[in-house]
Chains A and B, each alone.
Chain A
Amino acid sequence: MKLALEMRSVSKRYPGTLAVDQVSLEVQAGEVHALVGENGAGKSTLMKMLAGSFDDYTGEIAINGQVVSLHTPALAKKHGVGMIYQELSLAKPISIAENLLIGRLPTKFGFLDKAKLRSETKYWLEQVGLGLNPDLPVEDISPHEAQLVEIAKVLASNPSILVMDEPTSALSREEVERLFSIIDGLKKKGMAVVYISHHLPEIDRVADRVTVMRDGKKVATKAMSETSRQEIVQMMVGTLKEETHNTAARTPGKEILRIENLSRWGFFHGLNLVGHAGEIVGICGLAGAGRSELARVLVGLDKKDAGKMLIDGREVNITSMAQALRVGIAYLTEDRKAEGLALRMTVGENALVGIIPRHSTAGVYFAKRGHSLLGRLMNELVVSPNDPGRMVGNLSGGNQQKVLLAKWMASEPRVLILDEPTRGVDIGAKMLIHDSIKKLADGGHCILLISSDLPELVGLADRVMIMRKGRFSREMPRSQCTEESVLMAAYEGGV
């Protein structure tokens, strides 16, 4: 088979670190090549290099046997590299059509050809199963529709090499399946696909070969048929760490949280749920099922339209997050960067921001009062570097997530809602976070765990509520929960 892409000993240096160190990578035409590694292993940097984001990489890149220089995005595009980013790269006020065909809008006699713009957009949207009006601005569509538009946009650029960086993080199971069948089709047409993901089952499903990176270096490239998840994980972390879950059953204490018939029109209707002290309640559902929306209402970020909410048997009407914190409900958001942390502020400031009122007397804030608590939390969560004065933005994703968790542990909530607490986090950090969650539950907190990570749910939750189309469709006790059974229950009938 001919090589679609060959990277020969490429390196990229950021001020202070060598992010990619002498990496060589070969991808054949008609191959799906998985690229895995913990956060900070250099895989995203490697792919940005391919997308033309750097003008100062060293080493050689050959596409279809020809050495090319990929020093600008335009050059990368010209050479047929298509990149689907983890973060959406759509312009919100602009129409879907123009987003899709950005950089190569069809023209006739130098003027835009609007009819062609529309028909071409319609065609590509159909490819990813969307029937949206091409003239709609992107800000009017939902996040997972936007993710699919993003994929259509790259497909439309007709690349010979397709790079996907965590393309499924915002998609529902159904849409993931559709994406995989698209990838299968592209493979048959001879396209080379580089697939970056943390999700090993996905890689099992879709990849032909896998390259593992660690600390900016390549560890190995293996055919999927000749390796195992176990081995891949081992190569990623260096030593074999087994991801075990404490399955010792907790005995739930008295009831803390009760919601009755809770509704927010158009998002979720008629939800009933009870949470006890020392219990982890898993909430599972596909993207868009209303999980985060429920959490937002519980902490007062959005207004409920109907129903009741009780804490310790007393009805509460929560209208602001400050109030939710006062009655003891905290919410760890799924969007760490936008909603969780102030990246330009320090670890200490971020971790203590939720409990400013507690460390204040008559409006005067005594930050010092929180220092011992801060030190304890940072040690417990092994935040690295262990320096409260460090800017959060300079930490790795895993450590940022630990700081976010520390923020809510500091507030000592009675009910802690965790929304995808380990999304995009490396395995080491993930295990630490899982340990902390278990400790919190053992300490008598009530945890609502929203997660799409099935092993995490099954491993941690005492019972799992299945959420479908804005309703709880089923409640499964721990004894019934396996990855397969939960998945089946959530997937039943689609989103």
Chain B
Amino acid sequence: MTTAKTKNSGTSLLAVIDKNRIYIIFAVVLLFMAFFAPKFLNPFNLTTITKTMAMTACVGIGFTIVMICGQLDLSIGTVITMSGIIGLGLKQFVGYELSVPLAIVAGSLIGLINGLLVTKAKINSFIVTLGTMTVLQGLIYFVTGGNSIALSTPDAFAVSDFLSWKIVPLITPRVIVTVVLVVVAQIILSRTRFGRSFYMVGGNKSTAWLAGINTDRTLIIAFVLSGTTAAIGGVLFAMESSAATLNLGTNSLMYVISAAIIGGTAMSGGKGGVIQTFVAILALEILYDGVILFGLGNEVKIFLAGLILALVVLYEAFAIYKHEKTVGQRPELVKELQK
């Protein structure tokens, strides 16, 4: 059929570029910095990059899954802070072997509450997670009295040293944990029925339900994963720095949303992937690192972060606008024009 032919050839070079845009952005940023930024390829600098991206990358896993489901989780920032506080705060009482699992479980629990409120009470996830975010914020201040936690015991430093130990240049145990989680999550998402069900629920919830997918359970799992990975990211970071501040997760929300969107995960759901978010985080991290290497300040970094996000949103809006203009065209009439 004619339609079939035009559709197949429609997967043109542009479409391929668009589909892989995040890898291209990554390559461009990396090459630019490698050539122009002073001391960029210095192993110490590269290690800094991988270490800084580790927390956000971990948080990005669950957050991306929630977005694939067509939902939003505003609570990740406070979950990060909370898990740091629990993991370090409880250490003196029960040791890391118990406080770290507790911190992660607490994150899962917040995710579970979010998921239950979204699915069972049927409240918009923007509202639900705004609510849990606010509650957690208050709770954190209530418990800590507004004070950060810093550990200075030898065993805490030992753990901290271990987590930042360079097995080979660039690779520390915390980076390994993060990368393994990302890879596992990506394989599950793209290669298993369970993973695909997140896309189905995000793409069209009622279709998924009619096809026998337990949509409520899928959504709850997505939120639990989001809470869990946020907690893992937060507690690992806190352990490595032996300190949990109250603004540990403050900027993560913006950062992770940007990365997910730049990576091609759509707010409307059904599209995207953990690996794309991961690569976007890497690209952003390299860019920010370069900004600092060029001797520019933090304010340039903030400005750039917003600008990049704004440009990507603009680009997507424009792409949809163009797509809607041509969808439904009759191929034979288009052909006539091309003569």
Q: Within 8 Å by CB, do A and B touch in the complex?
A: yes
Q: Is B7 part of the contact surface with A, judged by Cβ < 8 Å?
A: yes
Q: Is A223 part of the contact surface with B, judged by Cβ < 8 Å?
A: no
Q: Given A90-B204, A92-B204, A102-B208, do A142 and B1 touch, yes or no (CB 8 Å)?
A: no
> Is the Cβ of A469 less than 8 Å from the Cβ of B200?
no
Q: Is B143 part of the contact surface with A, judged by Cβ < 8 Å?
A: no
Q: Mark A88-126, 1 if CB is under 8 A from B, else 0.
A: 011111100011001101010011100000000000000
Q: What is the minimal beta-carbon distance from B120 to any residue of chain A, in angstroms?
A: 16
Which of these, B203, B210, B327, B333, contacts A94 with CB under 8 Å?
B203
Q: Mark A75-92, 1 if CB is under 8 A from B, else 0.
A: 001000001000001111
Which of these, B4, B271, B330, contacts A132 with CB under 8 Å?
B4
> Is the Cβ of B333 less than 8 Å from the Cβ of A142?
no
> Is the Cβ of A133 less than 8 Å from the Cβ of B212?
no
Task: Report the Cα distance A131→B204, complex, angstroms.
Answer: 24
> Is the Cβ of A288 less than 8 Å from the Cβ of B330?
yes
Q: Is B206 part of the contact surface with A, judged by Cβ < 8 Å?
A: yes
Q: Is B16 part of the contact surface with A, judged by Cβ < 8 Å?
A: no
Q: Given A142-B328, A267-B330, do A74 and B212 touch, yes or no (CB 8 Å)?
A: yes
Q: Given A72-B212, A103-B212, do A89 and B206 touch, yes or no (CB 8 Å)?
A: yes
Q: Is B11 part of the contact surface with A, judged by Cβ < 8 Å?
A: yes
Q: Within 8 Å CB of B213, what residues of A?
A: 102-103
Q: Within 8 Å CB of A110, what residues of B?
A: 192
Q: Is B163 part of the contact surface with A, judged by Cβ < 8 Å?
A: no
Q: Within 8 Å CB of B203, what residues of A?
A: 91-94
> Is the Cβ of A90 less than 8 Å from the Cβ of B8?
no
Q: Is B339 part of the contact surface with A, judged by Cβ < 8 Å?
A: no
Q: Which residue of B lies closest to A142 (CB)?
A: B328
Q: Within 8 Å CB of B332, what residues of A?
A: 469
> Is the Cβ of B270 less than 8 Å from the Cβ of A94?
yes
Within 8 A of A (CB), among B202-254: 202-204, 206-213
Within 8 A of B (CB), among A288-312: 288, 290, 293
Q: What is the minimal beta-carbon distance from A470 to any residue of chain B, in angstroms?
A: 5
Within 8 A of A (CB), among B1-32: 1, 3-5, 7-8, 10-11
Q: Mark A138-150, 1 if CB is under 8 A from B, else 0.
A: 0111110100000
Q: What is the minimal beta-carbon distance from A428 to any residue of chain B, in angstroms?
A: 30
Q: What is the minimal beta-carbon distance from A290 to any residue of chain B, in angstroms?
A: 7
Q: Is A136 part of the contact surface with B, judged by Cβ < 8 Å?
A: yes
Q: Is A266 part of the contact surface with B, judged by Cβ < 8 Å?
A: yes
Task: Report the Cα distance A265→B203, complex, angstroms.
Answer: 31
Q: Within 8 Å CB of A98, what residues of B?
A: 196, 199-200
> Is the Cβ of A89 less than 8 Å from the Cβ of B204?
yes
Q: Is B336 part of the contact surface with A, judged by Cβ < 8 Å?
A: yes
> Is the Cβ of A133 less than 8 Å from the Cβ of B206?
no
> Is the Cβ of B11 less than 8 Å from the Cβ of A469?
no
> Is the Cβ of B193 less than 8 Å from the Cβ of A89?
no
Q: Is B268 part of the contact surface with A, judged by Cβ < 8 Å?
A: yes
Which of these, A74, A94, A140, A267, contacts B7 with CB under 8 Å?
A140
Task: Report the Cα distance A460→B334, complex, angstroms.
Answer: 34
Q: Within 8 Å CB of A142, what residues of B?
A: 3, 327-328
Q: Is B266 part of the contact surface with A, judged by Cβ < 8 Å?
A: yes
Task: Report the Cα distance A53→B206, complex, angstroms.
Answer: 11
Chain A interface main SS type: loop
Which of these, B7, B190, B333, B336, contacts A133 with CB under 8 Å?
B7
Q: Within 8 Å CB of B153, what residues of A?
A: none
Q: Within 8 Å CB of B268, what residues of A?
A: 93
Q: Within 8 Å CB of B330, what residues of A?
A: 266-267, 288, 290, 469-470
Q: What is the minimal beta-carbon distance from B199 to any residue of chain A, in angstroms?
A: 6
Q: Mark A464-477, 1 if CB is under 8 A from B, else 0.
A: 00000110000000
Q: Is B322 part of the contact surface with A, judged by Cβ < 8 Å?
A: no
> Is the Cβ of B211 less than 8 Å from the Cβ of A102?
yes
Q: Is A20 part of the contact surface with B, judged by Cβ < 8 Å?
A: no
Q: Is B42 part of the contact surface with A, judged by Cβ < 8 Å?
A: no
Q: Is A388 part of the contact surface with B, judged by Cβ < 8 Å?
A: no
Q: How many A-B residue pairs have CB under 8 A?
A: 121
Q: Is B152 part of the contact surface with A, judged by Cβ < 8 Å?
A: no
Q: Given A140-B327, A266-B334, A469-B330, do A91 and B207 touch, yes or no (CB 8 Å)?
A: yes
Q: Within 8 Å CB of A469, what residues of B?
A: 330, 332-333
Task: Report the Cα distance A494→B262, complex, angstroms.
Answer: 44
> Is the Cβ of B212 less than 8 Å from the Cβ of A266?
no
Q: Mark B164-175, 1 if CB is under 8 A from A, else 0.
A: 000000000000
Which of these, A103, A111, A135, contacts B191 with CB under 8 Å?
A111
Q: What is the minimal beta-carbon distance from B71 to any residue of chain A, in angstroms?
A: 15
Task: Report the Cα distance A92→B266, complex, angstroms.
Answer: 12
Which of these, B196, B207, B269, contacts A112 with CB under 8 Å?
B196
> Is the Cβ of A265 less than 8 Å from the Cβ of B333?
yes
Task: Report the Cα distance A103→B213, complex, angstroms.
Answer: 7
> Is the Cβ of B4 less than 8 Å from the Cβ of A94?
no
> Is the Cβ of B207 less than 8 Å from the Cβ of A90?
yes
Q: Which residue of B lies closest to A495 (CB)?
A: B330
Q: Given A107-B192, A267-B330, do A92 and B212 touch, yes or no (CB 8 Å)?
A: no
Which of these, B7, B208, B328, contacts A136 with CB under 8 Å?
B7
Q: Is B337 part of the contact surface with A, judged by Cβ < 8 Å?
A: yes
Q: What is the minimal beta-carbon distance from A398 to any residue of chain B, in angstroms?
A: 25
Q: Which residue of A lies closest to B3 (CB)?
A: A145
Q: Within 8 Å CB of B7, what residues of A?
A: 132-133, 136, 140-141
Q: Within 8 Å CB of A112, what residues of B?
A: 190-193, 196
Q: Which residue of B lies closest to A77 (CB)?
A: B212
Q: Within 8 Å CB of A470, what residues of B?
A: 330, 333
> Is the Cβ of B200 less than 8 Å from the Cβ of A102?
yes
Q: What is the minimal beta-carbon distance from A102 to any residue of chain B, in angstroms?
A: 4
Q: Within 8 Å CB of A129, what residues of B?
A: 1
Q: Is A269 part of the contact surface with B, judged by Cβ < 8 Å?
A: yes
Task: Report the Cα distance A99→B207, complex, angstroms.
Answer: 9
Q: Is A130 part of the contact surface with B, judged by Cβ < 8 Å?
A: yes
> Is the Cβ of B329 less than 8 Å from the Cβ of A92?
no
Q: What is the minimal beta-carbon distance from B21 to any residue of chain A, in angstroms?
A: 16
Q: What is the minimal beta-carbon distance from A94 to any residue of chain B, in angstroms?
A: 4
> Is the Cβ of B270 less than 8 Å from the Cβ of A93?
yes
Q: Within 8 Å CB of A92, what residues of B?
A: 203-204, 270
Task: Report the Cα distance A265→B329, complex, angstroms.
Answer: 8
Task: Report the Cα distance A440→B318, complex, angstroms.
Answer: 41
Q: Which residue of A lies closest to B331 (CB)?
A: A266
Q: Is A51 part of the contact surface with B, judged by Cβ < 8 Å?
A: yes
Q: Which residue of A lies closest to B271 (CB)?
A: A93
Which of these, A72, A105, A136, contacts B196 with CB under 8 Å?
A105
Q: Is A73 part of the contact surface with B, judged by Cβ < 8 Å?
A: yes
Q: Within 8 Å CB of B206, what residues of A?
A: 89
Q: Within 8 Å CB of A136, what residues of B?
A: 7, 10-11
Mind listing 11 A-B residue pairs with CB under 8 Å?
A98-B199, A98-B200, A103-B212, A107-B192, A111-B187, A111-B191, A131-B1, A136-B11, A266-B326, A267-B328, A469-B330
Which chain B residues have a beta carbon within 8 Å of chain A's beta carbons?
A: 1, 3-5, 7-8, 10-11, 187, 190-193, 196, 199-200, 202-204, 206-213, 266, 268-271, 323, 326-330, 332-334, 336-337
Which chain A residues have a beta carbon within 8 Å of chain B's beta carbons?
A: 51, 53, 72-74, 77, 83, 89-94, 98-99, 102-103, 105, 107, 110-112, 129-133, 135-136, 139-143, 145, 265-269, 288, 290, 293, 469-470
Q: With A53-B210, A91-B203, A93-B268 given, can you name 13 additional A-B contacts, CB distance below 8 Å?
A: A77-B212, A91-B208, A93-B266, A94-B200, A94-B204, A102-B200, A102-B213, A133-B4, A135-B11, A140-B10, A140-B327, A265-B334, A469-B330
Shortest Cβ-Cβ A-B pairs, 10 listed: A91-B203, A131-B4, A266-B329, A74-B212, A93-B270, A91-B204, A103-B211, A102-B211, A94-B203, A89-B207
